[in-house]
Structures are given as C-alpha cells and as structure tokens.
Amino acid sequence: MVTRRTPLPGVGTQYDVATRDGRHISVVAHEDGRRFVSFFAPEDPDACACTVPLEPEEAARLASVMAPERAEAGLGVAELGIDLVTERIPIEPDSPYRGRPMGDTKARTRTGASIVAVLRRTGAHPSPGPDFRLEAGDTLLVVGTREGVDDLADIVAGV
C-alpha cells in the first residue's frame, strides 16, 4: 500500500492511498476540519467515481471505526465525559489582535481554550508564550471545548 501526501496551500492536505489491489482513494483534509473522501475507478485511477464530504465530527467517527485500536489508545478524553475539539483559527488582516502579543487575547482566561501552536508560513511555533506577536496570515491551533473554541474564534475575529 502506497500513501502520498500533497500540501494544498490555503486549503489543507491531500492524501492519496493506493491499495495493494490497485484501487485509489483520496482524502482532502481541509484546514477547517472538513474532509472529502474520494474513490476512483479501478480501471481508470484518474476517474473519480464518488466523493463523500464529511464534517469534522463525521470524519472523527469514521476514523474511530476504521482504526478503533488507535481511538482506544488515545487520551481517554471521551471516557471522562469531556468533549474536546482541536481547530485552526486564522488571524485575518482585520483582526484586532494582528500585530499584538498573543497574551492580549487572554484566550485561556476568557474561554478556557488553549492556543497550543501558531502556524505561520515560515513554520510552526509550538507552545507560544504570551509575548509571541500574532500576524495576519497566522493560524492558531486551538484545543478546548466546542464552546470555548467558538468563543476564541469570535474574540480573534473581533466579534
């Protein structure tokens, strides 16, 4: 089985899988968490036979069904009754936090969500401190409850 990973700037990443029997499956993982799974005709690996769009929750459920041993070996968050999400939040040019230190967002205090990394064209910045300056085009990698992450997205957008 062969897997090829192709970055899609501004969109996400495409993963192409060729199975041992010659079938071609493609997954496009969008930056916003959506996934598109495409199946290609065995007789023509360039002809898409079907595409299935999946929302983030649907993709996570499918992944847990496809590889339950990995889901069971995870952090056990579901067992504790805590629903955590991981999401990417862009810093738009009109964000009130563009050019300001990340600590000005008071993200964890106001929302309970944590900014675990800042993704920038020049590279990833894991565990950024409060003095890390945000720039337009940055993407925040955030972990928290659904409500906390949504609230943080609103704060960063200036809503």
Q: What percent of the chain has pLDDT over 90?
A: 23
The stretches in the chain having pLDDT less than 50 are: 71-73, 75-80
* pLDDT, tens digit, 9 for 90 and up, residues 48-59: 888 888 888 788
Distance between start and end Cα atoms, the chain: 47
Given a contact cutoff of 8 angstroms between Cβ atoms, the answer to whether 80 and 98 are in contact is: no
In the prediction, which pLDDT does 7 show? 79
Q: Which residues contact 110 (CB under 8 A, 6 or more apart)?
A: 151, 152, 155
In the prediction, which pLDDT does 76 show? 46
Domain boundaries, the chain: 2-72, 78-157
Give the C-alpha separation, 112 to 131, whole Å: 19
Give the C-alpha separation, 157 to 128, whole Å: 19
**CATH number assigned to the domain with residue range 78-157, chosen from the 4 options 3.30.70.1450, 3.90.1150.10, 3.30.1280.10, 3.40.50.300:** 3.30.70.1450
Per the prediction, the chain carries an average pLDDT of 82
Q: What is the pTM of this model?
A: 0.51
